A and B are shown apart, each in its own frame.
Chain A
Amino acid sequence: MASKFWTQGGSDTEEEETDIEDEIENGGAGETTAAAAGSRYLQTNASDSDDSDGQKRVVRSAKDKRFEEMASTVDQMKNAMKINDWVSLQESFDKINKQLEKVMRVTESDRVPNLYIKCLVMLEDFLAEALANKEAKKKMSSSNHKALNAMKQKLKKNNKQYEELINKYRENPESEEEKFEDEDEDEDEDESGSELEDPSQIAAESSDEDDEGEDMDDDDADGAWEKKLSKKEKLMDREFKKDPSEITWDTVNKKFKEVVAARGRKGTGKFEQVEQLTFLTKVAKTPAQKLEILFSVISAQFDVNPGLSGHMPINVWKKCVQNMLVILDILVQYPNIVVDDMVEPDENETQKGADYDGTIRVWGNLVAFLERIDNEFFKSLQCIDPHTREYVERLRDEPLFLVLAQNVQEYLERIGDLKSAAKVALRRVELVYYKPQEVYDAMRKLAELSEDGEKDGDETKVEETRGTSAFVVTPELVSRKPTFPENSRALMDILVTLIYKSGDERTKARAMLCDIYHHALFDEFSIARDLLLMSHLQDNIQHMDVSTQILFNRAMAQVGLCAFRVGLIAEGHGCLSELYSGGRVKELLAQGVSQSRYHEKTPEQERLERRRQMPYHMHINLELLEAVHLICAMLLEVPNMAANSLDAKRKVISKTFSRLLEVSERQPFTGPPENVRDHVMAATRALCKGDFQKAFDIINSLDVWKLLRNRESVLEMLKAKIKEEALRTYLFTYCSSYDTLGLDQLTRMFDLSDAQIHSIVSKMLVNEELHASWDQPTRCIIFHDVEYSRLQALAFQLTEKLSILAESNERAVEARTGGGGLDLPLRRRDNQEYAAGTAGGGGGRWPDLSYGQGRQGSSGRAAYTGGGRPLALGQASRDRSGQSRGYSGRAGSGMRGSQMDASARMVSLNRGVRG
Chain B
Amino acid sequence: MATYDLTPRIGPSLDRHLVFPLLEFLQERQLYPDEQILKAKIELLNKTNMVDYAMDIHKSLYHTDDVPQDMVERRVEVVARLKALEDAAAPLVTFLQNPNAVQELRADKQYNLQMLNDRYQIGPDQIEALYQYAKFQFECGNYSGAADYLYQYRALCTNSERSLSALWGKLAAEILMQNWDIALEELNRLKEIIDSKSFSSPLNQVQSRIWLMHWSLFIFFNHDNGRTQIIDLFNQDKYLNAIQTSAPHLLRYLATAFIVNKRRRPQFKEFIKVIQQDQCSYKDPITEFLACVYVNYEFDGAQKKMKECEEVILNDPFLGKRVEEGSFSTVPLKDEFLENARLFIFETYCRIHQRIDMGVLFEKLNLNYEEGERWIVNLIRNSKLDAKIDSETGTVIMEPNQPNVYEQLIDHTKALQGRTYKLVGQLLENAQAQPAR
Enumerate chain A interface residues (CB-CB to B < 8 A).
525-526, 530, 534, 755, 758-759, 762-763, 765-766, 773-778, 782, 784, 786, 788, 792, 795-796, 799-800, 802-803, 806, 809-810, 813, 816-817, 821-822, 866-868, 871, 888-890, 893-894, 896-897, 899-901, 904-905, 907-908, 910, 912-914
Contacts and interface: CB of A to CB of B under 8 A. Distances in A.
A65 B89 CA distance: 97
B274 A907 contact: no
B119 interface: no
A759 B296 contact: yes
Given A766-B352, A889-B277, A896 B245 contact: no
A43 to B, nearest CB: 56
A788 to B, nearest CB: 7
Contacts of A816: 430
A890 B277 contact: yes
B426 interface: yes
B241 A893 contact: yes
Contact of A762 (B237, B352, B413): B352
Contacts of A894: 241
A599 to B, nearest CB: 42
Contact of B409 (A796, A897, A901, A904): A796
Interface stretch (B41-49, B141-149, B170-178, B395-403): B395-403
Given A803-B412, A821-B429, A776 B244 contact: no
25 contacts: A759-B296, A759-B297, A762-B352, A766-B297, A766-B351, A773-B352, A774-B353, A777-B356, A777-B357, A792-B409, A799-B412, A802-B416, A806-B420, A809-B420, A813-B426, A813-B427, A817-B430, A821-B426, A867-B276, A889-B270, A889-B277, A890-B244, A893-B241, A900-B202, A913-B246
A777 B361 CA distance: 11
Classify the interface of chain A: helix, strand, loop or mixed: helix
A837 B408 CA distance: 35
A470 to B, nearest CB: 54
B201 interface: yes
Contacts of B245: 530, 534, 908, 913-914
Contacts of B300: 755
A762 B400 CA distance: 17
Given A759-B297, A776-B356, A782-B354, A810 B409 contact: no
Interface in B374-390: none
A904 B202 contact: yes
Contacts of B429: 821
Contact of B238 (A784, A889, A897): A897
A724 to B, nearest CB: 12
B330 to A, nearest CB: 34
Given A813-B427, A816-B430, 15 more contacts: A766-B348, A773-B353, A777-B393, A786-B402, A795-B405, A799-B412, A803-B412, A803-B413, A810-B419, A817-B426, A868-B273, A889-B270, A904-B202, A908-B203, A913-B207
Contact of A867 (B197, B277, B402): B277
Contacts of A530: 244-245
Nearest to A900: B202
Contacts of B367: none
Contacts of A897: 237-238, 241
A795 B207 CA distance: 53
A409 B273 CA distance: 43
A569 B417 CA distance: 42
Interface string B324-362: 000000000000000000000000100111111100110
Contacts of B395: 776-777
B355 A775 contact: yes
A534 B207 CA distance: 16
B281 interface: yes
Interface of B: 197, 201-203, 206-207, 237-238, 240-241, 244-246, 270-271, 273-274, 276-277, 280-281, 295-298, 300, 348, 351-357, 360-361, 393, 395, 398, 400, 402, 405, 408-409, 412-413, 415-416, 419-420, 422-423, 426-427, 429-430
Given A893-B237, A908-B206, A795 B423 contact: no
Nearest to B244: A890
Contacts of B402: 784, 786
Nearest to A895: B237
Given A776-B355, A821-B429, A896-B237, A526 B201 contact: no
A759 B273 contact: no
Contacts of B244: 530, 890
A813 B206 contact: no
B365 to A, nearest CB: 14
A809 B426 CA distance: 12
B409 A795 contact: yes
B118 to A, nearest CB: 43
Contacts of A806: 416, 419-420, 423
A868 B402 CA distance: 25
Contact of B354 (A755, A773, A893): A773
Contacts of A786: 402
Contacts of A893: 237, 240-241
Given A775-B354, A821-B429, A822-B426, A907 B203 contact: yes
B422 A822 contact: yes
Contact of A822 (B246, B409, B413, B423): B423
B355 A777 contact: yes
A626 B292 CA distance: 34
Contacts of B273: 867-868, 871, 888-889
Nearest to B280: A526
Contacts of A914: 245-246
A224 B148 CA distance: 97
B275 to A, nearest CB: 10
A884 to B, nearest CB: 13
Contacts of A778: 355
Contact of A765 (B206, B271, B277, B351): B351
Contacts of B426: 813, 817, 821-822
A868 B405 CA distance: 28
Contact of A775 (B296, B297, B353): B353
A753 B76 CA distance: 71
Given A777-B393, A867-B277, A802 B413 contact: yes
Q: Closest 7 A-B residue pairs measured CB to CB?
A: A904-B202, A762-B297, A799-B412, A893-B237, A765-B352, A773-B354, A526-B280
Contacts of A809: 420, 423
Contacts of A901: 202
Nearest to B411: A799
Contacts of B297: 758-759, 762-763, 766
A913 B352 contact: no
Given A773-B352, A776-B360, A816-B430, A810 B423 contact: yes
A895 to B, nearest CB: 10
A908 B203 CA distance: 5
B202 A866 contact: no
A788 B246 contact: no
Nearest to A526: B280
A765 B400 CA distance: 14
A242 B402 CA distance: 108
A759 B298 contact: yes
A805 to B, nearest CB: 9
